[in-house]
Amino acid sequence: MLISFMLMLCQASAEHYVMEIGSKSNPNAHLFAYDQKFRESTKLHNYPMNMSASKEFTDATRLSTRMQLKALPNLTQVEIQADFIGIGRIGYLVLDPETGDVKDEQSRINHMFVGNFSIDEEIIVAKDHMCECGYLPCA
């Protein structure tokens, strides 16, 4: 008896609620809710040095980034500050400046972060010199 009464009560409350869909001007209407994910990517190519750098953030529920770029014929400097929850990728590729051929790769660095991170990274690639502060000692 008690179970049938509770079943009737649950059915009555479920049938009583009707959701209205509409605009902000209708006070009874509900706007659609969804999970929001952020995505951002930046790529830099310094053609005189045959060098490229990139950053990419995907599936981020929180994302705050700042990036400074300097690309000169003999120098590339990338500064990245990021605070995010999600997936982050930061990397750079340096090819032989004489040939520019992918087969003559001099350096390839790829970092992948999954989770909650705060990153403060500086990458400097100068002619005949590479330095990545934060991971490798800079001289």
Specify which residues 56 forms β-bridges with.
41, 89
Q: What is the pLDDT of residue 30?
A: 56
Locate 66 and state its tokens: 């700042």
Q: What is the pLDDT of residue 41?
A: 92
How far apart CA 36 and CA 60 sit, in angstroms, is 8
Kindly report the average pLDDT of the chain as a whole number: 76
pLDDT single digits (tens) 5-36: 444 544 444 455 555 555 566 666 655 555 67
pLDDT single digits (tens) 120-136: 988 888 876 655 555 44
Contact 112, 88 (CB under 8 A): yes
Residue 127 or 94, more confident: 94
Secondary structure (DSSP) of 72-119: ETTEEEEEEEEEEEEEEEEEEEEE-TTT--GGGEEEEEEEEEEEEEEE
For residues 78-91, average pLDDT: 92
115 Rama sector, left if φ>0, alpha if ψ -120 to 50, beta otherwise? left
Report the range of poorest mean pLDDT among 56-65, 78-87, 98-107, 123-132.
123-132
